[in-house]
Each structure stands twice: as C-alpha cells, then as structure tokens.
Structure 1
C-alpha cells in the first residue's frame, strides 16, 4: 500500500522534518511503500497549505496520508476542518496518525464491511482529536494574550527580542556570497530567517 508523509511545523524557525524518522519507521513496520514526502512550515490553524493540498492532489484512492499527530494535520476551525475532510474523502485517502491507534488498522487490507466500519470509527476519532487540537490552539493563544496583557500592565512586556549577534553573522555571510544552504547549515536557522536578513540588506542598500 502506498503512503505519503506529511510533515508540518508552524514557523520557519521550527524543523518541519523532525518526525520524518518516526514516520518512516512506522511505514516500514506496517509494510507501506513511501511514494512522497511533503514538508512545509505553515500554521495548522490555516486551511490553505500548498504542500498538504499537493499531497491530496497527488494521491490515489486508498493511499495513506501518514502524519505524526492529528494536530500536524489540523488545528482548524470546525468549518475549515469540514472542508479539508471533504477534500480527503473525495480522493478516498486514508488518514493514519501515529497518535491515533485506531487509524493504524487502516494500513491493512480488509473486506468491504470491515473497511467501512474502520473508516467510520476512524473518522469519528479524527473529528474528535481535530476539535481537541483546535481547542488547545485557542487556549494557548488566550493564555499568551493574557500573559502579555498582564506584563504590559506591569510595564514588563518588551516583545520577543531579536538575536542581533546571530543575524549580524548571517548578514556577513550573505555579503560574502555564501549560499543560503551553507548559511542555514552553519547557523542552524531556517530558510525564512535567511530570507528576512537578505531582504533587510537589500532594503538598506536601496535607501
């Protein structure tokens, strides 16, 4: 059975491919053939995710969409989750998440009745975990906002500080015409960080 790995992180500074080894080990253990790996840095609260959409578009009926946690797939509102589920259902893709044991049985062939029962149970569990993931997302955002509001009221909030020493080093590397890949490897930053510094340098030169 063919499977496609979906790897997502929320920001450019996070490693979206972190769970790749775990997903590949799961695929090997369950006899799945990996035919694609789709990695992106986008918020799970955002419906439009190019790599996820490409994965679904590339999939054939009964292909496996393999993901580490359901929240890697969705922190969506109920309306947006319904849209995504419909896209997945239309392509007849089976969603399997490492943190959803009931979905693991979707990796094996079964008769029509058993397959439909498993799909129904898995669908209900997916809906439940997607709702939990959305609530967790909203709760964390509320706690952060409350903390910031209290810090501002106490005169303690200054926002997230910039790593000026690191960014100066990246700027120096860019000016020496080092490639973005070399800079990312040397400093451990994501591509988005290098792009931000490069844009800053271009804007300064244009002034």
Structure 2
C-alpha cells in the first residue's frame, strides 16, 4: 500500500501546498509515509486536472489517496463526480480525508465485516460532502455574478484589470526563448496566461 497525497488550490495566486504539513503529520501519527505528492492549481469543479489523473494512473489496488478535505478532490457536478468515483473505484484506490474520520477508520480496520460497513458509511458521507462542496461553489459563483450585475447597474464595475507590466515582461521572456517553467517561476502566471500571450505575440506553432 502506498499513500499518495493530493494538494489542490483553485488559482495560481493560492498556495496549494499550505496543508502539506497537516497531511505529513496525519501520516506520521499512523506510522505511514507519503510515497508521492501531487500538487496542482486547478478548479475542483473541473475534471481537467492532470496531476489528479497522473496520481490515479500511478496507483495500484489498495493505495490511499490522501487529501485534506473532500472539497480538495471534488466541487464537481453530479455527473462528473460519478465519473471520478468510477475511475477511483476501478483502480481500487481508497480515499482518506482529514475531515472524514470514517475514512481513517476504514484504512485501519482489519475485520472484514467492519471494513464493509465502514466502506458503505464512508461512501455515503463522501457523496454528502461532495454535494456540500458543489453547493458552496455554485453559491459563491451566483453571489459573484449578482455582485457584478449590481456594480454594472451602478456604473462601478470596470472588469478585471490586466497586469499590463507583467504581460509585457512575459512576452519579452518568451521572445528570449525562456521556457514556460522558468517564466512561471519568475512571474507566478498560469500556463493558460502564457498560452494566451504567446498566441498574441507569435504565430501559432507547437510549444
């Protein structure tokens, strides 16, 4: 059994690694070692998460997917959540979340009957927490849209300001042949920003 820790934040401006110490402490307390860390800045409302699927692709049956909270794994709609669960189940991976005590107990259980009961309870609670995470996501999006609509009505909304100076610097770095990883490290920008700026500054070609 390998423990694989998954750390996610929604944007490049957020620190996806902020809970690493908590996950390490959790594993150490139980005599476990984290075999690999998978870190990415992607929305939990999307299945387009390369690191999560790299983790699943490297898992063997019985491996543990360790997360801080269920919302780090999913803010997905019902259909996408079911698809992700099928993928996890097909690989025989066990989800362990710090905010879901039944998942800890299931990991430690050696009695077959107890393990089956905990698996059933754990599955139900996972669904419930995933649904709550999705509701939180949709509620925040709705409030944001309402706030923008109100600001537009009052003439106060000007849209998101672009970081013009940073964008000029990024284009300059691209023109000098710096790699995307080097530019991301220097500026903190996302790959989607790099792709957009490169598309504007240069004729399309493979990167």
Instruction: Indicate the TM-score class for this superposition, using the shorter chain for normalisation.
Output: 0.7 to 0.9
| Corresponding residue number in structure 2 for 1:81 | 81
1:16 to 2:16 alignment: yes
Q: Quick one: structure 1 residues 193 and 17, their matched pair in 2 at CA, closer, same or farther if it must change by over 3 Å? A: farther
Q: State the alpha-carbon separation in 1 of the partners of residues 20 and 200 from structure 2.
A: 33
Segments of structure 2 that go 5 or more residues without pairing to the other structure are: none
| Corresponding residue number in structure 2 for 1:201 | 201
| Corresponding residue number in structure 1 for 2:119 | 119
Segments of structure 1 that go 5 or more residues without pairing to the other structure are: none
Q: Deviations over 1:70-127 (max 9, x none)?
A: 1111111223222222222232211111222332223324211121122122112111
Q: State the alpha-carbon separation in 2 of the partners of residues 170 and 135 from structure 1.
A: 37
Contact 2:13-2:188 within 8 A present in 1 as well = no
Cα distance, 1:12 vs structure 2 = 4.4
Q: State the alpha-carbon separation in 2 of the partners of residues 15 and 93 from structure 1.
A: 26
Moved more, 125-134 or 1-10: 1-10
| Corresponding residue number in structure 1 for 2:100 | 100
Contact 2:12-2:188 within 8 A present in 1 as well = no
| Corresponding residue number in structure 2 for 1:43 | 43
Q: State the alpha-carbon separation in 1 of the partners of residues 73 and 49 from structure 2.
A: 10
> How many residues matched?
204
Q: State the alpha-carbon separation in 1 of the partners of residues 7 and 199 from structure 2.
A: 27
Cα distance, 1:135 vs structure 2 = 0.5
Q: SS at the partner of 2:34?
A: strand
Q: TM-score scaled to structure 1, two decimals?
A: 0.84
| Corresponding residue number in structure 2 for 1:174 | 174
Q: SS at the partner of 2:62?
A: coil
Q: State the alpha-carbon separation in 2 of the partners of residues 17 and 196 from structure 1.
A: 26
| Corresponding residue number in structure 1 for 2:58 | 58
Q: Deviations over 1:138-176 (max 9, x none)?
A: 101110111111111111112111111222222333334
